[in-house]
A and B are shown apart, each in its own frame.
Chain A
C-alpha cells in the first residue's frame, strides 16, 4: 500500500497548456504539502493545507492553484505552463497535532515543459 501517491509520475507538455497533478494519502493525515524541486535539486515548499484549508502559499505564481476536495487529496493545477515550471513536484503529508513524526513524501512528478 502506497502511503502518499502522486499521478502521473512523468508529465511532458507544451508551453501554454494547463495540467494537473494529483496526490492522495491513505495515512489519515490532516496536513498536506506541495514542494517543488528545481533543476539544482533544491526543495522548496509551495503550499500547505490543513483539513482542506490553505495555510501556506509561498509566493507561488497565480498560475498554480492547489485544490483539496477532502483531507486525503491535494491536487495541483497549473495554468499556462512555462518552461521554468519544469521541475519535480513532491506531495507530502503529516498528521496534525502529533509530535515526533516526520513528513511522508510521494514519489514525485517530473514535469517537463517543452
Chain B
C-alpha cells in the first residue's frame, strides 16, 4: 500500500532563511508526487508535481523539490522564506495507473519568525 511520511510535524524558520521539508514515500512503482500548501482556513493549493523526467522540479512561489528514487524521497526546498509562506505543507503520492486517490502525508506546519 502507498504511504507518505513527513517526519517533521512543525518547523520554525527565520524570514530569509532557507527551508527544506522532508517527505518519504512508500510505493511499489514510480509514483506521481505532489506538494500542496494549505494556508490557515484555506483550501489546498498545488505547489509542484513530479511525473517523470528531470528529478528537480520547480513550482510556484519559488519552491522546488527533488525526487530521489534511491531514498524514496521528495523533499521540498526554498532558498529564502517569506513570512507569507507560513502554512501547512502536504506531500502526496499518486498512482500512475487509473484515477486512484492521492495518499497524503500528515503535513508539516511551517512557522516563520522575523
**A33-51 toward B: CB 8 Å interface, digit per residue (1/0)?**
1010000111111001010
A48-B101, A99-B51, A102-B34 known; 9 other A-B pairs, CB under 8 Å? A35-B101, A41-B107, A45-B101, A56-B101, A90-B43, A94-B99, A100-B52, A102-B49, A105-B36
Q: How far is the CA of A92 from the CA of B90 in the complex (A)?
A: 15
Is A108 part of the binding interface, using a Cβ–Cβ cutoff of 8 Å? yes
Does B44 contact A48, Cβ atoms closer than 8 Å?
no
Is A103 part of the binding interface, using a Cβ–Cβ cutoff of 8 Å? yes
Is B113 part of the binding interface, using a Cβ–Cβ cutoff of 8 Å? no
Is A107 part of the binding interface, using a Cβ–Cβ cutoff of 8 Å? yes
Contact A96:B99 (CB < 8 A) given known A42-B104, A102-B34: yes
Across-interface contacts of B101 in A (CB, < 8 A): 33, 35, 45, 48, 56, 103
Is A31 part of the binding interface, using a Cβ–Cβ cutoff of 8 Å? yes
Q: How far is the CA of A95 from the CA of B106 in the complex (A)?
A: 25
Q: How many residues of B contact A (CB 8 A)?
A: 24
Does B106 contact A42, Cβ atoms closer than 8 Å?
yes
| Residue of chain A at shortest CB distance from B46 | A102
Across-interface contacts of B52 in A (CB, < 8 A): 100
Contact A107:B102 (CB < 8 A) given known A41-B107, A99-B51: no
Q: Can you report 16 residue pairs joining A to B where beta carbons are below 8 Å apart?
A: A30-B99, A31-B99, A33-B101, A41-B38, A42-B104, A42-B106, A43-B104, A43-B107, A44-B104, A48-B99, A50-B99, A99-B96, A100-B51, A102-B49, A103-B94, A107-B42
Q: How far is the CA of A100 from the CA of B52 in the complex (A)?
A: 9
Is B15 part of the binding interface, using a Cβ–Cβ cutoff of 8 Å? no
Q: How far is the CA of A30 from the CA of B103 in the complex (A)?
A: 19
**A43-79 toward B: CB 8 Å interface, digit per residue (1/0)?**
1110010100001100000000000000000000000
Is B66 part of the binding interface, using a Cβ–Cβ cutoff of 8 Å? no
Interchain residue pairs A-B with the least CB separation, the first 3: A107-B43, A45-B101, A31-B99
| Residue of chain B at shortest CB distance from A56 | B101
Is B85 part of the binding interface, using a Cβ–Cβ cutoff of 8 Å? no
